[in-house]
Structure 1
Amino acid sequence: MARYADDLSLAHMLADTADSISMARFRALDLHVEAKPDLTPVTDADTAVEKAVRATLARTRPRDGVLGEEYGASAPPAGAGSRQWVIDPIDGTKNFVRGVPIWATLISLMDGDTPVVGLVSAPALGRRWWAATGLGAYAGKHQAAASPIRVSGVGRLADASFCYSSLHGWEETGRLDPMLDIIRTVWRSRAYGDFYGYMLVAEGAVDAMVEPELSLWDLAALIPIVTEAGGTFTDLAGRPGPGGGSAIASNGKLHQDLLDRLG
């Protein structure tokens, strides 16, 4: 089961590089921000991080494909396998731009359609989360200061701490009413947003996190961390994996109830 241990170690090296670049630009007075065609922001830190990660992968894993938010997909050479690294250089760019420290670099390795390595590095929070198939899930400042993490045991929505990104997306997809019903039902609800809610689920601090619309680079790194921590991660139709473009992440005990309400 240590099949992906070397890839996980490489992910930590990639995150070290990403952290050094992104932290140097966080709250920089000369930070350059542009609007992408979908009107979401992109900074010089986003592009610099992705370029650096891609350069290292080109040297260390030349037979693997790469997909990044800013520069798209680069296909592996002919005859290579089905492995692909998926990179979100800065998840939470709007936070990054405003000086809010809740942002992270997301690094994942997919083997075929399955994310098998996931690492989330939030250097402004001084925290990192990681997992690989069969190796468990961990969190800490770095590999040498790590603790295993585990989802909660809460079994009822009425007792649950529930997390979501925002209500706007649920309104756009016609699911605002069931979302509001869940918020009225649960013990506590908070909109932590982006990667952070999922990591809180993996740590057992939050019991469920949901989002209606996501891209592959938003999802891939999160799935191994939540599932290796004992949780369940599906799309809104209940399908596992990152292909559905939506997410319900939970401690497992609450999952079917959430699917029934949101699916």
Structure 2
Amino acid sequence: MVRSRNPLSLIIFALSALALAAALLPTLLPRLRLLSAHIPLPHLAAFKFSQQHSMASSDYTKELNIALLAVQRATLLTKSVFHSHAKGTLNKQDASPVTIGDFGAQALIISALQHNFPDDEIVAEEEAKDLRENENLRQTVWDLVKNASLSDASAEKELGGSIASPKAMLDIIDKGDSKGGNKGRIWAIDPIDGTKGFLRGGQYAVCLGLMVDGDVKVGVLGCPNLPVSDSEPLTENIGADATDQEGKGVLFSAVQGQGANSRPLGKDSLASASKIQMKPISNISEATFCESVEAGHSNQDDSVKIAQKLGITKPSVRMDSQAKYGSIARGAGDLYLRLPVKKDYVEKIWDHAAGDLIVREAGGQVTDVEGKRLDFSLGRTLKNNKGVIAAPKDVHKHVIEAVQSVLSSKQ
């Protein structure tokens, strides 16, 4: 015998069920999100949460690995160009040179970043306009790019393998057009930092940094002409007549909060890393300071006066590129001075992002001439900073005082 239900009781039951569901909903939704992130159940496939962050790692392990491999692969191309007689040199609007190596290295690095982090933005120095207009130059760069690969197949696969075509290469080069800023994940690339040094057989660097919300989190420098050994001191002639012979070529790297490392540059998988630290300075008068080779990049007369105020008698070591950052981070040098030549000159973020982090993670301090941290959150330039001063933390204040004393005397 089936008992009939009172309609009023059914209504009360339904209302009670709805009230219970409403009460449980705030608790259930977060659990569903957690479940969808960790258990690939078919009926939870509709829940898509932050696709970009799922491709990134919270401790930047993947970002560091890809950055190291990408820079190492790019240096294979730059070394090939370094040994060639015709480097395909052009002059940009600001009269600075760009070579086929700049274009090729940028294409290889952006290709690797796009394969692994397709939602990230990229700020890079070069654009493909000249290659689109010059068929011979385009073909030369393409020949370099298609033949540049790591000999380790698994490492090459991690980077996404070869670029598909010359057209794809041009489009990839032009992906470095981000305006930068203080939001999101942005990579800064200088495919050949120190192009003039590269052209004359001196020091140069392939540079890559990751900024998250304007803060540098990962930095990598590939320096093919620096000694592998961290214990080898800087010499006065290191900025000229360099070769990538046996015992030369080093990768510097850092992740925010995890220290800085160096390892030999190779042709396949990554070599083992060694921790690096800036050298303690007991007597600042014995410090070795680095500056740019080009007088147009840093005021060398002011550097001499600052050295005199600090009691430093030995001459500066002049070398191109962010290799200076790597050199002082490993203790081969001590100070890096880049002093303003013109009042209106503004530094580019790709010239400093990686090196800034590597020195700071090695125990140093990097500021402008006023003692302010370099601000990478304002776009493609360091518009709020003038000059760069890098030194061990315990002497940085004394260096800044000497810098300000010299600069104020000119006003």
Specify if TM > 0.5.
yes
Q: Which has the larger radius of gyration?
A: 2
Match of 2:373 in 1: 240
The equivalent position to 1:111 in structure 2, one of 199, 208, 212, is 212
**TM-score normalised by L of structure 1:** 0.88
- Contact 1:155 1:253 survives alignment (8 Å): no
Aligned residue number for residue 186 of structure 1: 312
Report if the CA contact (8 A) 1:33-1:44 is conserved.
Answer: yes
Range with bigger deviation, 239-248 or 130-139: 239-248
Task: Determine the structure 2 residue equivalent to 1:216.
Answer: 349
Quote the offset at 1:168 in angstroms: 4.5
Does structure 1 residue 229 correspond to structure 2 residue 362? Answer: yes
Answer whether contact 2:91 2:97 (CA < 8 A) is retained: yes
| 1:200 is the counterpart of 2:327 | yes
In the alignment, the residues of structure 2 paired with residue 120 and residue 245 of structure 1 have an alpha-carbon distance, to the nearest angstrom, of 23
TM-score (normalised: structure 2): 0.58
Are the equivalent residues in 2 in contact too, given 1:161–1:187 (CA < 8 A)? Answer: no
Matched ranges for 1:153-172 at <5 A: 153-166=280-293, 167-171=295-299
Instruction: Choose between structure 1 and 2: higher strand proportion.
Output: 1
Within a 5 Å distance, the mapping from 1:7-46 to structure 2 comes to: 7-46=63-102
- In structure 2, the CA distance between the partners of 1:245 and 1:221, relative to structure 1 (3 Å rule), is farther
Of stretches 135-144 and 230-239 in structure 1, the one that deviates more from structure 2 is 135-144
**Secondary structure of 1:74's match?**
coil
Structure 1 residue 155: deviation in Å?
4.1
Q: For residues 11-48 of structure 1, what are the alpha-carbon distances to aligned partners after superposition, in whole Å with 9 as ceiling and x for unaligned?
A: 01211221121112112123200111111110011011
8 A contact 1:113–1:241 mirrored in 2: no
- Distance in 1 (CA, whole Å) between partners of 2:193 and 2:271 is 24
The one-letter code matched in structure 2 to 1:130 is: S
In structure 2, the residue matched to 1:96 is 198
RMSD (CA atoms): 2.2
8 Å CA contact 1:65–1:85 kept in 2: the answer is yes
SS of 2:122's partner is strand
Going from structure 1 to structure 2, the CA distance change for 1:199 and 1:41 (only over 3 Å counts) comes to same
1: CA distance, partners of 2:191 / 2:282: 35
Query: How many equivalent pairs are there?
Result: 254
CA separation in 1, counterparts of 2:386 and 2:187?
18
2:262 to 139, 150, 153: 139
- In structure 1, stretches of 5+ residues that fail to align are none
Q: Distance in 2 between matches of 1:34 and 1:168?
A: 19
Counterpart position of 1:130:
253
| Amino-acid identity (%) | 28
One-letter amino acid of the structure 2 residue matched with residue 150 of structure 1: Q
| Alpha-carbon distance, 1:187 to partner | 4.3
Measured in 2, the distance between the counterparts of 1:212 and 1:66 equals 28
Q: Deviations over 1:37-75 (max 9, x none)?
A: 111110011011112211222221111110011137434
Aligned to 2:403: 262
- 2:215 is aligned with 1:120: no
Deviations 1:117-168 (A, max 9, x none): 1110022331111111122111120543321100111044312111211455
Matched letter for residue 44 of structure 1: I
8 Å contact 1:27–1:99 — kept in the other structure? no
The separation in 1 between residues aligned to 2:259 and 2:69, in whole angstroms, is: 19
Matches of 2:223 and 2:80 in 1, distance apart?
13
Output the amino acid matched with 1:92: G
SS at match of 2:94: coil
